Amino acid sequence: MNNVKVFVLMAGMTALLGSLGGYFGGQMGLVLALLVAGGMNVFLYWNSSAMVLRSYGAQVVERAQAPELYDMVDRLRQRAGLPMPTLAIAPHEQPNAFATGRDPEHAVVCVTSGLTRLVDRDEMEGVIAHELAHIKNRDMLLQTVTSTMAGAISSLAQFAVFFGGRSDDEDRNPIAGLAMLILAPLAASLIQFAISRQREFKADAVGAEIVGRPEGLARALQKLDAYSRRIPMQVSPAAAPLAQVNPLAAMGGGLSSLFSTHPSTEERVARLLGR
């Protein structure tokens, strides 16, 4: 069901991009916007791991530095049928984790130092399995595609603002054009965030399958959510969506849930436990 929802959302973003491109830039404007956005995101796709680790201040560790954690990741990745990812630890008190990398052969699983102290073994297994699920599902590739499309929509809107869009149709409604300029990038962002939320649900489900039980991950999500609201984390908002729970949760409020890349912890736990 999650995959169906993602397909529908991707189709909606594709239709939005085509409509905006045809209205303002024609075929040439659409292609130009895709090339610009695609070029930027291809660079990020190939260099994401180093950039994200640097953003979190994380350091790669070997087995000798964290033997229990390393062996846990090794055991779970074998259950998931994945190659051993690079393991890293970020020096943050807030318990959290993320995965990055362009494919399973170049993946990184990173946990914060706070996570290693504030969760028990079953909870840690659930957290690690969730991140391995992101790798198994190739969510980094999906994130790159959606970012490219959202970026193209924003680029087309900016192109229309600065260059006036197409001039071959004098019958176009200027109010409708203005509405598209404002609403199209907003709609693209909402669709992008909705896709991210669906991938979190999918990673929760696959993570529970990897471990063999959902209770540890459910408890971990509740604990991580509670700590994220009490222990601040200094991290770039651009890197925050990768974390297992929103590391900037203490800054949320009002309409922020609409623009959240993470579904509510209550809903995630309810789905995991079949409530």
- Cβ-proximal residues to 41 (8 Å cutoff; 6+ apart), any chain: 144, 147, 148, 151
pTM flag (> 0.75): yes
Tens of pLDDT along 195-234? 778 889 999 999 999 999 999 999 999 999 999 999 989 8
CA distances from 274 to 2, 205, 266, 270 (A): 15, 11, 12, 6
Tens of pLDDT along 67-76? 999 999 999 9
d(CA 98, CA 146): 19
Most confident of 136-140, 220-224, 254-258: 220-224
| Confidence check: pLDDT of 29 > 70 | no
- Cβ-proximal residues to 25 (8 Å cutoff; 6+ apart), any chain: 32, 33, 156, 159, 160, 165, 166
d(CA 184, CA 168): 21
Task: For residue 131, indicate whether it is catalytic.
Answer: yes
Q: 158 or 275: which carries more pLDDT confidence?
A: 275
The candidate with the shortest Cα–Cα distance to 68, out of 111, 14, 18, is 111
Instruction: Give the pLDDT band (50/70/90) at residue 30.
Output: low
Q: What is the pLDDT of residue 100?
A: 87
According to DSSP, the residues that pair with 87 across neighbouring strands are: 61, 109
Query: Could you tell me the sign of the dihedral formed by the alpha carbons of 69, 70, 73, 74, in that order?
Result: negative
Q: What is the pLDDT of residue 254?
A: 45
* Catalytic-role residue among 123, 125, 131, 200: 131
Three-state SS sequence of the chain: CHHHHHHHHHHHHHHHHHHHHHHHHHHHHHHHHHHHHHHHHHHHHHHHHHHHHHHHCCEEECCCCCHHHHHHHHHHHHHHCCCCCEEEEECCCCCCEEEECCCHHHCEEEEEHHHHHHCCHHHHHHHHHHHHHHHHCCHHHHHHHHHHHHHHHHHHHHHHHHHCCCCCCCCCCHHHHHHHHHHHHHHHHHHHHHHHHHHHHHHHHHHHHHHCCCHHHHHHHHHHHHHHHHCCCCCCCCCHHHECCCCCHHHCCHHHHHHCCCCCHHHHHHHHCCC
246 contacts 260 by C-beta, under 8 angstroms: yes
